[in-house]
């Protein structure tokens, strides 16, 4: 089997496991936790096992001698591992104090030598102290609830910091007490503003804190080992991760083509479980409401009325709770990625189902543009993922399903329709089968290299399209966004390097590395072994693909993307490989950009998009929120008013009646999302803008016909 067939680039947007194990929601039955917690129980410290010590030694050897990055285990690394480990265990700095941190000063610089030799006790000592401090804090929060939340004062001028990841550790227990009073007040205020009465709030918070407390008492040796090993492995890069035996099982399920569940990949994010990405064609993606970076608050089964609060749960337990049999329904309460704080939540009902390969398939549409009396027919091909039915392929089925085969058929249909150009929509395409990206490039070029792969020994393999036939030789635009990753970036980068078309959208994810999963005596190690480079020599790693024409995006690049991850491998470049150059856009690109910007300024849709982007940015930049009831209510009212104003402006553009209240808007969105058979007759304006850019290309330079006769050049590295 060739390297192209072996390298399957899935889980492209997975966050580093230092921040939490990333799991897919696929098979198995729901998980439940019952029984009251004994608040007076004594925490039983966890201890390392012999198997874990052996696995630690194997992991250290693999990291030092087989990882793409050459990184030694020394005193400097020890300090970094220590910081990353504490970041995982207490990322918001709400359990430990400066006094606790000083206790570990002697351990800090000795972790490296201990990790080389399988001495795990220092890491377990840190873990056990954090668990003990967590129990103390949760009991303190419960004592406040026991005293009655009506005793809390919401008329002060207090504020609470939203993100404490960069805050100083509180100096002592008394300071932490003050912080936790604020935390409880913030939680109460959030639910009051959502319309809950005090009795319901007390029950909800007691369930939350008792659930977290119970899990702290039930800490397992494997929890400590997995967290410690991922803090260690994450020093090399964010995609190198240790999988415990149980997590390995979940990972293997995720790599299967037969998937059942809601079709989402989750990760731990401090106290919350966060959505990393949605599986194309899966129930959550089709339902349409769950989005990357949403945080899950509670889970409700279809046969139960009472939601289960999952704040503070272990990730694997949340995954087990959300999983379930096909055609059953699970309801998630989430804090949307766009929310300013915990005040804003919404509920999403998703019917579990099997993720079918055909529902990930490429599809086509045709849009018609009228410009100055000239009519243009633009073909649009949407590719949700780079897929291939490997089982059918291995069995010799001549009609096996794949991205390239499907797109070839769609191109023939579009050519029969007489389209003037083709827009390839790779937005939100997180990657998939590498050889499909290679073959897809081949549909648009005669033949030649498509991507370079360099391993840790600096050996470079060049994947090439060896088929001289061309499925489509006309004008081409490729749409990308921040969620376009890996195989998508390889395709977009090759089209850009060949001058075969224009790349339009926002900077892509920047996932330009290849991982292999290696078995250990205890679990598995996913380790980065290679790196992708474009035919022009530049890596897709870290930087991604920079569009020729940029379109603003709602996605926060500081939170999503390779360059937002700790210890991500850097961008670099190697020698270019000779390749064709089909068209030189340098003579028209400035005019193309100006025309696009003029349309941007004149377009109501673009103005609304920019207004929404500015609004979201403003909310994300908030560092704190008020704990004064009236001030917080006024802030929430302003947010709701802005949301409603933007939504009604969009409805006005479509000639639809505006909503009177935010509740009407939310109800309408729920109805739209619940109707999985509904279709939007009007393609979104980003696609239409891609069509307009295509029309600009045709108007500005009739030499586009020269695409048929590429001139060969020796490309220079960029």
**Alpha helix positions (H), 159-287:** 173-193, 198-217, 221-233, 245-254, 283-287
Average pLDDT, stretch 446-474? Answer: 95
Q: What are the structure tokens assigned to 193, written together?
A: 């503003």
CA–CA separation, 197 and 156 (whole Å): 21
Average pLDDT, stretch 522-546? Answer: 96
User: Residues 452, 417: contact at Cβ < 8 Å?
Assistant: no
Cβ burial of 712 (10 Å; 0-12, 13-18, 19+) is: exposed
Query: Is it the case that residue 19 has pLDDT exceeding 60?
Result: no
pLDDT level of residue 361 (50, 70, 90 thresholds): confident
Average pLDDT, stretch 5-12? Answer: 34
Structure confidence by residue, pLDDT tens digits, 568-602: 999 999 999 999 999 999 989 999 999 999 998 89
Average pLDDT, stretch 350-373? Answer: 82
447 by DSSP, 3-state: which?
A: coil
User: Residues 484, 508: contact at Cβ < 8 Å?
Assistant: yes
15-19, 153-157, 385-389 — which is least confidently predicted? 15-19
Q: What is the pLDDT of residue 43?
A: 93
List 550's β-bridge partners, or say none: 505
DSSP per-residue letters across 291-348: -TT-EEEEEEETT-SSPEE-TT--HHHHHHHH---TT-EEEEEEE-TT-SSTT--EEE
Cβ burial of 394 (10 Å; 0-12, 13-18, 19+) is: exposed
Average pLDDT, stretch 699-717? Answer: 50
Structure confidence by residue, pLDDT tens digits, 109-142: 899 999 999 999 999 999 999 999 999 999 999 9
DSSP state of 234: T
Q: What is the pLDDT of residue 673?
A: 56
CATH superfamily assigned to domain 362-516+524-603+686-713: 2-enoyl-CoA Hydratase; Chain A, domain 1 (3.90.226.10)
Higher-confidence position of 442 and 11: 442
Query: Is it the case that residue 18 has pLDDT exceeding 60?
Result: no
Q: What is the pLDDT of residue 21?
A: 39
Q: 420 Cβ partners below 8 Å, 6+ apart? A: 376, 377, 378, 474, 475, 694, 695, 698
Average pLDDT, stretch 493-519? Answer: 95
CA–CA separation, 685 and 531 (whole Å): 35
User: Residues 23, 264: contact at Cβ < 8 Å?
Assistant: no
Q: Rounded to the nearest 10 degrees, what angle do helices 685-700 and 604-620 cross at? A: 120
* Phi, psi values for residue 337, rounded to 5°: -60, -30
pTM of the model: 0.83
pLDDT level of residue 509 (50, 70, 90 thresholds): very high
Q: What is the pLDDT of residue 31?
A: 36
User: Comparing C-alpha atoms, which of 447, 500, 461, 408 is closest to residue 492?
Assistant: 500
User: Comparing C-alpha atoms, which of 31, 711, 7, 691 is closest to residue 369?
Assistant: 691
Average pLDDT, stretch 234-254? Answer: 76
Q: What is the pLDDT of residue 401?
A: 86
Q: Which is it for strands 346-351 and 353-355: parallel, antiparallel or unpaired?
A: unpaired
Largest CA distance in the chain: 80
Query: Is it the case that residue 151 has pLDDT exceeding 70?
Result: yes
Query: Is it the case that residue 249 has pLDDT exceeding 70?
Result: no
72-76, 629-633, 661-665 — which is least confidently predicted? 661-665
Average pLDDT, stretch 200-220? Answer: 90
Q: Which is it for strands 502-505 and 476-480: parallel, antiparallel or unpaired?
A: parallel
142-146, 373-377, 453-457, 554-558 — which is least confidently predicted? 554-558
Q: What are the structure tokens assigned to 367, written together?
A: 């849009």
CA–CA separation, 690 and 503 (whole Å): 9
Query: Is it the case that residue 27 has pLDDT exceeding 60?
Result: no
Residue 200 burial (CB count, 10 A)? 12
Q: What are the structure tokens assigned to 162, written together?
A: 């939203």
Q: What is the pLDDT of residue 24?
A: 44
Q: What is the pLDDT of residue 12?
A: 34
User: Residues 505, 451: contact at Cβ < 8 Å?
Assistant: no
Mean pLDDT, the chain, integer: 85
Q: 8 Cβ partners below 8 Å, 6+ apart? A: 255, 432, 433, 434
Q: What share of the chain has pLDDT > 90, as a percent?
A: 56
Query: Is it the case that residue 704 has pLDDT exceeding 60?
Result: no
* Domain ranges across the chain: 3-238, 245-355, 362-516+524-603+686-713
Q: What is the pLDDT of residue 257?
A: 34
Q: What is the pLDDT of residue 674?
A: 54
Q: What is the pLDDT of residue 420?
A: 94
Cβ burial of 659 (10 Å; 0-12, 13-18, 19+) is: middle
Pick the CATH number of 245-355 from 3.40.50.1220, 2.30.42.10, 2.170.150.20, 3.30.390.50: 2.30.42.10
Q: What is the pLDDT of residue 7?
A: 35
CA–CA separation, 711 and 493 (whole Å): 19
Q: What is the pLDDT of residue 260?
A: 53
Q: What is the pLDDT of residue 342?
A: 63
Q: What is the pLDDT of residue 258?
A: 38
pLDDT level of residue 14 (50, 70, 90 thresholds): very low
Give the containing element (helix H, strand E) for 116: helix 111-116
Average pLDDT, stretch 191-214? Answer: 90
Q: What is the pLDDT of residue 355?
A: 65
Q: What is the pLDDT of residue 315?
A: 78
pLDDT level of residue 705 (50, 70, 90 thresholds): very low
Structure confidence by residue, pLDDT tens digits, 484-495: 999 999 999 999
Cβ burial of 682 (10 Å; 0-12, 13-18, 19+) is: exposed
Average pLDDT, stretch 319-339? Answer: 84
Calculate the CA 517 to chain-centre distance: 20
pLDDT level of residue 281 (50, 70, 90 thresholds): confident
Q: What are the structure tokens assigned to 711, written together?
A: 């001139």
Whole-angstrom CA distances from 580 to 39, 466, 492, 519, 707 are 70, 14, 15, 42, 11
Q: What is the pLDDT of residue 184?
A: 96
Which residues are catalytically annotated?
486, 497, 511
CA–CA separation, 117 and 59 (whole Å): 11
11-25, 137-151, 205-219, 540-554 — which is least confidently predicted? 11-25
* Phi, psi values for residue 395, rounded to 5°: -85, 0
CA–CA separation, 272 and 56 (whole Å): 28
């Amino acid at each position: 089997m060739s390297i192209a067939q072996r390298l399957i680039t899935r889980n492209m947007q997975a966050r580093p496991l230092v921040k939490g194990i990333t799991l897919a929601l696929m098979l198995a039955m729901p998980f439940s936790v019952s029984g009251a917690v004994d608040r007076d129980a004594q925490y039983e410290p966890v201890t390392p096992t012999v198997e874990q010590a052996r696995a630690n030694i194997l992991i250290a050897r693999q990291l030092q001698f087989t990882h793409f990055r050459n990184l030694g285990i020394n005193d400097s690394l020890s300090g970094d591992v220590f910081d990353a480990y504490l970041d995982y265990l207490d990322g918001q700095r709400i359990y430990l104090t400066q006094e606790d941190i000083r206790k570990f000063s002697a351990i800090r610089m000795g972790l490296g030598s201990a990790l080389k030799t399988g001495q795990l006790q220092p890491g377990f000592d840190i873990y056990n102290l954090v668990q003990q401090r967590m129990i103390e804090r949760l009991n303190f929060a419960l004592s406040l609830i026991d005293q009655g939340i009506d005793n809390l004062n919401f008329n002060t001028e207090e504020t609470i910091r939203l993100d404490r990841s960069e805050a100083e550790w509180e100096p002592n227990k008394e300071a932490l007490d003050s912080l936790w009073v604020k935390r409880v007040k913030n939680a109460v205020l959030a639910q009051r503003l959502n319309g809950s009465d005090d009795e319901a709030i007390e029950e909800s918070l007691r369930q939350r804190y008792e659930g977290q407390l119970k899990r702290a008492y039930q800490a397992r040796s494997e929890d400590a080992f997995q967290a410690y090993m991922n803090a260690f492995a994450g020093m090399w890069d964010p995609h190198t991760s240790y999988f415990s035996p149980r997590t390995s099982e979940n990972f293997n399920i995720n790599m299967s083509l037969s998937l059942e569940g809601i079709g989402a990949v989750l990760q731990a994010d401090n106290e919350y479980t966060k959505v990393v990405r949605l599986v194309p064609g899966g129930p959550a993606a089709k339902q349409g409401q769950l989005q990357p970076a949403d945080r899950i608050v509670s889970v409700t089964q279809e046969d139960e009325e009472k939601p289960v609060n999952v704040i503070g749960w272990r990730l694997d337990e949340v995954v087990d709770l959300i999983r379930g049999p096909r055609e059953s329904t699970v309801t998630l309460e989430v804090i949307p990625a766009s929310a300013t704080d915990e005040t804003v939540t919404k509920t999403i009902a998703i019917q579990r189902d099997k993720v079918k390969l055909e529902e990930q398939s490429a599809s086509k549409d045709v849009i018609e543009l009228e410009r100055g009396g000239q009519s243009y027919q633009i073909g649009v091909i949407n590719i949700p993922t780079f897929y291939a039915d490997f089982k059918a392929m291995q069995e010799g089925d001549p009609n096996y399903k794949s991205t390239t085969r499907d797109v070839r058929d769609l191109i023939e249909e579009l050519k029969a329709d007489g389209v003037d150009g083709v827009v390839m929509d790779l937005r939100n395409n997180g990657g998939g089968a590498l050889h499909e990206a290679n073959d897809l490039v081949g549909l648009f070029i005669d033949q030649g290299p498509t991507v370079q792969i360099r391993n840790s020994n600096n050996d470079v393999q060049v994947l090439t399209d060896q088929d001289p036939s061309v499925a489509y030789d006309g004008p081409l635009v490729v749409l990308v966004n921040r969620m376009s990753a890996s195989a998508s970036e390889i395709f977009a980068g090759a089209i850009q390097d060949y001058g075969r078309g224009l790349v339009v959208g926002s900077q892509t994810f920047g996932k330009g590395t290849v991982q292999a999963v290696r078995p250990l005596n205890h679990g598995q190690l996913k380790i980065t072994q290679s790196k992708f480079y474009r035919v022009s020599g530049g890596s897709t790693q870290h930087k991604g693909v920079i569009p020729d024409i940029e379109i603003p995006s709602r996605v926060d690049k500081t939170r999503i993307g390779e360059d937002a991850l700790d210890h991500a491998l850097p961008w670099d470049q190697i020698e270019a490989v000779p390749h064709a150059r089909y068209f030189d856009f340098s003579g028209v690109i400035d005019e193309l950009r100006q025309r696009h910007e003029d349309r941007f300024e004149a377009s109501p849709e673009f103005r609304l998009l920019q207004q929404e982007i500015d609004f979201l940015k403003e909310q994300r930049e908030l560092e704190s929120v008020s704990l004064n009831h009236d001030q917080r209510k006024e802030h929430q009212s302003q947010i709701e008013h802005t949301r409603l104003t933007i939504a009604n402006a969009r409805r006005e553009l479509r000639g639809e009646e505006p909503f009177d209240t935010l509740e009407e808007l939310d109800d309408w969105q729920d109805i739209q999302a619940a109707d999985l058979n509904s279709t939007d007759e009007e393609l979104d304006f980003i696609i239409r803008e891609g069509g307009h850019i295509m029309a600009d290309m045709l108007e500005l330079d009739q030499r586009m016909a020269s695409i048929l006769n590429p001139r060969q050049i020796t490309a220079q590295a960029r």
